[in-house]
Amino acid sequence: MTTILSTWKEPGEVAIRAAWDKRQSDGGLIDTLEAGLAAAELDPNLIMIGLGSLPNSEGDLELDASIMRGSDLMCGAVCAVRNIVPVISVARKVMEDTPHVMLAGDQARRYAIEKGFEPRQTLTAQVINRWEEWCESPERIKVYEHTHSDTVTMLGLTNGKMAAASSTSGLPFKQPGRVGDSPIFGAGIYADDEIGAAGATGNGEELWKAVASFRAVEFMRQGLPPQQACEAVVQQMLRRQAKAQELPCVVFAMNRDGEVGAATTKDTFDLWICRDGDMQMQSFSA
Ligand code: ASP
């Protein structure tokens, strides 16, 4: 049995279908999650991940991605990368071909180019228009934290092996150089075959402060099922982090037995679940 999870209705569906296609053509778990996220990144109609997603406040698109293998805790990430897609594939190269965990900014882009990625224009006319409208709007003077961005975070389980991965353009119109939880191990993703895997989406600052994904895995290590583990993370965030009450912060998890859970501090969250090709979307409310 292979179980794959993917966040948010629209980008999550693109990702989970591509991931399952890869799995069926004998892809390993890492190939499967990479294929899912790469498909979502390369779809210019998804304006929150990869090509054609919303830029930072200066109109530059900076992408973050991460991937982690639960068998040996190997992981790789990139953050604030411009003009390269799919960045999930660069994160995988960091994991497999370097002794490091993360490469950042222009140096990550240089590394990608050395590895054969072609730099390209990642903005589309549609998002340039959105950015120009934002520049003219009163929204501009507000703090960016009240929006969130349909980050695609994925978890996978097959034959007792687990993996987690995430890709995002971060918060729309963010401050240049801002990095959220998604490429940070323990915050945006975590996977440990001994226990399970977890991922996050929503306000990256709050999720990072909570080390939300690692915390969910640790709650499962203490014996909680995934649903209760995620609820415990959210309860703790609501109790300790005033802003988590105002900003949607989601954590979701899967244990070694394929049980799934999710919780959010606010609003509703959609999670795609694929069990050997049977796909369903489940909604979770605060
Ligand atoms: N967690 C992402 C970030 O803060 C955004 C999101 O998931 O909506 O960069």
pLDDT for position 150 = 84
Cα of 183 vs centre of ligand 1, distance in Å, is: 10
The residues, ordered by sequence, that sit 6+ positions from 235 with a Cβ below 8 Å of its Cβ are: none
Cα of 147 vs centre of ligand 1, distance in Å, is: 9
- The ligand 1 atom nearest the CA atom of 64: 9
Distance, CA of 74 to CA of 51 (rounded, Å): 27
Ligand 1 in reach of 12 Cβ (< 6 A): no
Distance, CA of 243 to CA of 258 (rounded, Å): 32
Using alpha carbons, list the distances in angstroms from residue 211 to 190, 199, 218, 250, 253: 10, 10, 11, 12, 14
- The ligand 1 atom nearest the CA atom of 169: 9
Length of the chain: 286
Give 50-74 as a DSSP string: STT----TTS---EEEEEEETTT--
pLDDT for position 278 = 98
Ligand 1 in reach of 6 Cβ (< 6 A): no
Q: Which residues are catalytic, by number?
A: 151
pLDDT for position 143 = 56
Nearest residue (CA) to ligand 1, atom 9: 170
Cα of 51 vs centre of ligand 1, distance in Å, is: 16
- The ligand 1 atom nearest the CA atom of 178: 9
Using alpha carbons, list the distances in angstroms from residue 13 to 40, 58, 157, 178, 202: 9, 30, 18, 27, 18
Cα of 25 vs centre of ligand 1, distance in Å, is: 31
pLDDT in tens, the chain (286 residues): 999 999 999 999 999 999 999 999 988 999 999 999 999 999 999 988 999 999 999 999 999 999 999 999 999 999 999 999 999 999 999 999 999 999 999 999 999 999 999 999 999 999 999 999 999 988 777 655 656 668 999 999 999 999 999 999 999 999 999 999 999 999 999 999 999 999 999 999 999 999 999 999 999 999 999 999 999 999 999 999 999 999 999 999 999 999 999 999 999 999 999 999 999 999 999 9
Ligand 1 in reach of 66 Cβ (< 6 A): no
Distance, CA of 277 to CA of 200 (rounded, Å): 23
Give 239-259 as a DSSP string: HH-GGGGTS-EEEEEEETT--
